[in-house]
Amino acid sequence: MKATINNSQVDAWRITTTDDMPDWVITAFNRKLIWWNTPEKDALVVATPRLGVSMGTTGWYLIKSPENTYRVISEKSFHKDYQLVSE
């Protein structure tokens, strides 16, 4: 899905343990930019340039910026700060 924040458009994926993932998420897994913390897939780990890693859980959102950086945010923050874009 696409979303906007501060007049910038980003890719967003609601973290889920199903195999239904957009191509950019699959690419991030393959490039080891993101990975599951446990075999149960209850925590997604994201490599972040300044913080080392950050983690999110099912129901949170993985955000990919136009600069190809990744971050996770809570569902509450996503709905507060982001607007969905119709595709």
| Residue ranges per structural domain of the chain | 2-85
pLDDT at 27: 95
- pLDDT tens digits in sequence order for the chain, 87 residues long: 999 999 999 999 999 987 789 999 999 999 999 999 977 777 999 998 777 888 999 999 999 999 989 999 999 999 999 999 976
Q: How far is CA 10 from CA 2, 34, 50, 70, in A?
A: 6, 17, 19, 10
pLDDT at 48: 83
Distance CA 51, CA 81 (A): 21
pLDDT at 87: 60
Q: Which of 72, 83, 67 is nearest to 16 (CA)?
A: 72
